[in-house]
Amino acid sequence: MSNKTLQVRLIVLTLFVVGLGAVLYKIFVLGFPLLPEKRQTVWAVEGHVSLQAQGGPLSVSLNMPDDSEYLQVMEISSTGDRGLRFAVDKEGPGRRATWQGEVEKGPVDIFLQGRVVRRDKGGGPGRQQRQEEPQLALEEAQQAAATALAKQVADRAGSWAKTQEMLRLFNSPNQPEAQLLLRQAGKLGGKMRLISAVLTQAGVKVARVKGLRLEKNSRNKKLQSFLEIEDDGRWLLVNPRTGKIEPGQDLLLWQEGSESVLEVVGGKESRLRLATLASQMMAGKSALAAARKAHHPLVDFSIYSLPLADQNTFKLLLLIPLGALVVVILRNLVGISTSGTFMPILIALVFLQTKIVTGMALFLVVVSVGLVLRSYLSHLNLLLVPRISAVLVFVIIIYVAISVVSNKLGFAAGLQVTFFPMIIISWTIERMCVLWEEEGGRDVLIQGSGSLLAASLIYLVMSNHYVSQLVYVFPELLLVVLAIIIMIGSYTGYRLSELRRFEPLVRP
């Protein structure tokens, strides 16, 4: 028995030393910051080109994102398969990334990664030149429509007002001239090309750009089109879909004018998908550290080496052990009973998506309505599997009802009910109902509130930026979490609740 105790201690010690050692090494030797000095946003941006190679020489060329007044692109790198040669053809705007090589027939996946940081106040120089739009060859009827449209905005003062009016015309379904042109937009190089040509005719200096809106965490994104117009010597970025001026701080310019985004020779079904991931806390310093030491085994064999889209998944996965730790602490050190061991973690994950108040309200509604319906099933004396299946059907019906009713009433929050894992919710309802019958409503309240308390605490831990950043930058901390869990597993002392429970025994 003492042999086992020794083993536990050795394992705990080893995990602590290895985990903390790696963290300290990364801080002091590799220069990772423990706590970021400044909240700077760094976006990791990834372009994923997938295509079917036809066999033989393959050449892929991808337009690269450009620096803007607000944003700076750095650390462009590529991970491609099949040994393609990666190169960046020139510097400055309009630069392209190219991959070339001989490949066998089959799917090819190429990743272009980069980091985007916000420029310091004052911004960068911005782009000086805009590409001139070549003339659009229009047929007679189309030309007439374009002229009519240009005339309609002619009386507006200034380029911005003209543009606003023009976009209104193009976005209105009842504008005959605009609709005539739009029907043929496909042949004329697209809607944006058309709008810019008509705007040019109206005397507005205009350029087209495509960009990616930098979001906290997004996958499978496409580039969006924007117009730039010159107004009083300044270039304004306009969103043609809303007709509003874009601030541009979060827009990563990717392509200008008629440049092609992606060119592939020797392959087909090519597709470009984009992903972004913002790290609030990881200041440029840690990103730089990661990049500088990219070939250090501790970094090279870490989450950083994974494709960006998968890094997003791991960011969440890395937090789950912390949730488990909270459950262990609550159950074995505090003595709170929860319904289902890991149910609180799953509920906390839902809270992360719905925000805690909405999540809590939805959970209470679903479970209490479920309990009422389930208690009716008790009278029918059903067997277990049909019974729990019936509860599952109830749960789905409740989801639908909540979504539809809340949508009708105008609360969009109700739709988030679908984030709750329905199997887990069904089991929770079933278990609570059995508990109610066997032990009474008091126990249901105790366990239910215990579960919600646990879920809320886990949510607080998981949603904390410092915590999530810490485990993301130092995944080695999981070993420390494991050590603590094992340690608690062999803890034989009292639980907090027992200090109350056994109090009568020592009462004088």
Partner 1 sequence: MLVSPARLRKAGIVGMNHRNVKLIAPNNPRRLYPLVDDKLRTKELVSRAGLATPRLLGVVRSQGNVRELGEFLAGLGTGFVIKPAKGSGGRGILVVAGLREENFVKPSGELLSLAQVQHHASSTVSGLFSLGGRIDVAMIEEMVHFSNVFDGFSYQGVPDVRVIVYKGYPVMAMTRLSTRASDGKANLHQGAVGLGIDLATGQALAAVQHGRRLSHHPDTGRLLTELAVPRWPEFVRLASSCFEISGLGYLGVDIVLDRHKGPQILELNARPGLAIQVANGHGLMARLALVDGQVPGSLDAAGRAAFAMARFAASPQVSPA
Give the whole-angstrom CA distance, residue 87 versus residue 84: 10
By CB under 8 A, name the one of 173, 176, 247, 504 that touches partner 1.
Answer: 504
- Asked if 37 is part of the footprint of partner 1 (rule: CB under 8 A), the reply reads no
Give the whole-angstrom CA distance, residue 382 versus residue 387: 6
Q: Do residues 266 and 59 touch, judged by C-beta distance below 8 A?
A: yes
> By C-beta, is 335 or 421 nearer to partner 1?
335
- Asked if 332 is part of the footprint of partner 1 (rule: CB under 8 A), the reply reads yes
> By C-beta, is 126 or 440 nearer to partner 1?
440
CB of 381 to partner 1, least distance (A): 6
3-state SS, one letter per residue, for 435-456: HHHHHCHHHHHHHHHHHHHHHH
Residue type, 19: G
> By C-beta, is 35 or 383 nearer to partner 1?
383
- Asked if 383 is part of the footprint of partner 1 (rule: CB under 8 A), the reply reads yes
CB of 12 to partner 1, least distance (A): 15
Backbone φ and ψ of 54, nearest 5°: -90, -5
3-state SS, one letter per residue, for 77-101: EEEECCCCEEEECCCCCCCEEEEEE
CA neighbours within 13 Å on the CB side: how many for 361? 11
Give the whole-angstrom CA distance, residue 508 versus residue 502: 13
CB of 443 to partner 1, least distance (A): 8
Give the whole-angstrom CA distance, residue 478 versus residue 19: 7
> By C-beta, is 24 or 499 nearer to partner 1?
499
Strand partners, 74: 115
Q: Do residues 160 and 231 touch, judged by C-beta distance below 8 A?
A: yes
- Asked if 335 is part of the footprint of partner 1 (rule: CB under 8 A), the reply reads yes
State the DSSP H helix or E strand holding residue 231, giving kind and residue range, or none if neither: strand 224-231
Size of the site for partner 1 (CB under 8 A): 30
Binding mask 425-444 for partner 1 (x = CB under 8 A): -------------xxx-x--
CB of 434 to partner 1, least distance (A): 9
- Asked if 495 is part of the footprint of partner 1 (rule: CB under 8 A), the reply reads yes
> By C-beta, is 135 or 381 nearer to partner 1?
381
Stretch that binds partner 1, among 59-67, 125-133, 148-156, 376-384 (CB under 8 A): 376-384
Which 3 state secondary structure label does DSSP give 103? Answer: strand
3-state SS, one letter per residue, for 268-307: EEEEEEEEEEEECCCCHHHHHHHHHCCCCHHHHCCHHHCC
Residue type, 467: V
- Asked if 379 is part of the footprint of partner 1 (rule: CB under 8 A), the reply reads no
> By C-beta, is 109 or 498 nearer to partner 1?
498
> By C-beta, is 157 or 505 nearer to partner 1?
505
Q: What is the DSSP string of 337-351?
A: --SSSSHHHHHHHHH
Binding mask 455-484 for partner 1 (x = CB under 8 A): ------------------------------
By CB under 8 A, name the one of 1, 35, 157, 409 that touches partner 1.
Answer: 1
By CB under 8 A, name the one of 38, 269, 295, 385 that touches partner 1.
Answer: 385
- Locate 318 and state its tokens: 């890395």
CA distances from 337 to 495, 501, 505 (A): 12, 14, 22
Give the whole-angstrom CA distance, residue 73 versus residue 98: 17
- Locate 120 and state its tokens: 């310091």
- Asked if 380 is part of the footprint of partner 1 (rule: CB under 8 A), the reply reads no
> By C-beta, is 341 or 353 nearer to partner 1?
341
> By C-beta, is 346 or 388 nearer to partner 1?
388
- Asked if 92 is part of the footprint of partner 1 (rule: CB under 8 A), the reply reads no
CB of 390 to partner 1, least distance (A): 13
Q: For binding to partner 1 (CB under 8 A), which residues are involved?
A: 1, 332, 335, 381, 383-385, 387, 438-440, 442, 489-496, 498-506, 508
